[in-house]
Amino acid sequence: MALLKILNYPDKRLHKVAKPVAVVDDRIRKLVADMAETMYAAPAVGLAATQVDVHERVIVIDVSDAHDELLVFINPEIVWSSDAKKKWEEGCLSVPGIYDYVERPDKVRVKALNEKETFELDCDGLLAVCIQHEMDHLLGKVFIEYLSTLKQTRIRGKMKKLEKAL
C-alpha cells in the first residue's frame, strides 16, 4: 500500500468527471487499499479517487469512531434522497483548513459495488453527507461551489497563497 498525493483546490483536475469502473480487478483493489491508507493517514472520513488524480468512480468512507468500518463504493449512484434537508459543516482534504455549512438531503440510498458485489445502503447523518460530498468529487464538484461567490473567491485566494508557500 502507498500514500497517494491529494490534489488541492483550485487544481483543475478536481473538476474532471470520473468515468465508471469497467471491471473490479487487482488494479482497482490496490487503488481502494491505497485510498483507504491515504484517508486514514490524513485523517479523514472520506476520499474520492478524483482527489488523488484517478478519474474513476471509486470512493472510500469510514465514519466510525474507531476508524475500523471501511466502506467502499465503486460506481456509486444515489437512487433515492429525502425531501428533508439539513445543513452540515463540511471540510475537505482538497481544501485544507476550510470549513463551511452546506445543505444536503438528510437521507439517501446509494447503490454501488464493493470489491465483491453490488449492494444498496440507506444512509443518514454523517454518512449521508459524506457519500454526497464524495460523489460530488466524482462529478468534478468541490463542496465550496455550494458557497457564495464571495466566499469562493476568498477561499481560492487562500489556497493559492498556501500553494505558493509550499
Please state the pTM of the whole predicted model: 0.96
Which pLDDT belongs to residue 7?
96
Q: 115 catalytic, yes or no?
A: no
CA-wise closest residue to 45 among 18, 22, 27, 69: 69
On the question of pLDDT at 36 being above 90, the answer is yes
Q: Would the pLDDT of 115 be above 80?
A: yes
Q: Are 60 and 35 in contact (CB under 8 A)?
A: yes
Please give the CATH number for the structural domain made up of 12-165.
Answer: 3.90.45.10
Joined together, the cell numbers standing for residue 105 give: 438531503
Annotated active-site residue in 56, 103, 134, 163: 134
47: which 3 cell numbers?
476520499
pLDDT at 112: 98
> What pLDDT score was predicted for residue 147?
96
pLDDT for residue 149 is more than 90? yes
